[in-house]
């Protein structure tokens, strides 16, 4: 007969304000979990989020799609981002502006064809 080893658990006492206590009770009821399990899962999820946030480039995923719903964002922002970012500098008197477009192969260069 095999018996499963007992887990050692450390009791923790936390004092919650009324709003937090109600939120905990609501989450426990909605998830059909004990309040203790909701707290355990919350701690693990917070630790996981912090670990992911510490990885290089983690903040980039939060930016993806963040401008999609804004009506003020031009539809060609990705293609012409420099023109939008540096519009004032590019339009300054005496400033030459690079024309964007496909790179034309040099005469006699067949590598781009």
Total length of the chain: 113
Confidence of residue 94 (pLDDT cuts 50, 70, 90): low
Res. 57: pLDDT tops 80: no
Q: Where are the domains of the chain?
A: 18-59+71-90
pTM score of the predicted model: 0.46
| Residue 89 phi, psi (nearest 5) | -70, -40
Q: What is the mean pLDDT of residues 57-80?
A: 81
Task: Write a three-state SS string for the chain.
Answer: CCCCCCCCCCCCCCCCCHHHHHHHHHHHHHHCCCHHHHHHHHHHHHHHHHHHHCCCCHHHHHHCCCCCCCCCCCCCCCCCHHHHHCHHHHCCCCCCCCCCCCCCCCCCCCCCC
pLDDT for position 101: 57
């Amino acid at each position: 007969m095999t018996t499963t080893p007992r887990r050692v658990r450390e009791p923790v006492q936390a004092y919650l304000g009324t709003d937090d206590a109600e939120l905990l009770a609501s989450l426990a009821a909605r998830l059909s979990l004990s309040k203790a399990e909701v707290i355990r899962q919350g701690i693990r999820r917070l630790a996981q989020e912090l670990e992911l946030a510490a990885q290089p480039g983690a903040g980039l995923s939060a930016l993806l799609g963040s401008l999609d719903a804004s009506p003020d964002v031009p539809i060609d922002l990705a293609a012409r981002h420099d023109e939008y970012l540096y519009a004032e500098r590019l339009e300054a008197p005496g400033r030459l502006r690079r024309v964007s477009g496909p790179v034309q192969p040099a005469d006699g260069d067949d590598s781009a064809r």
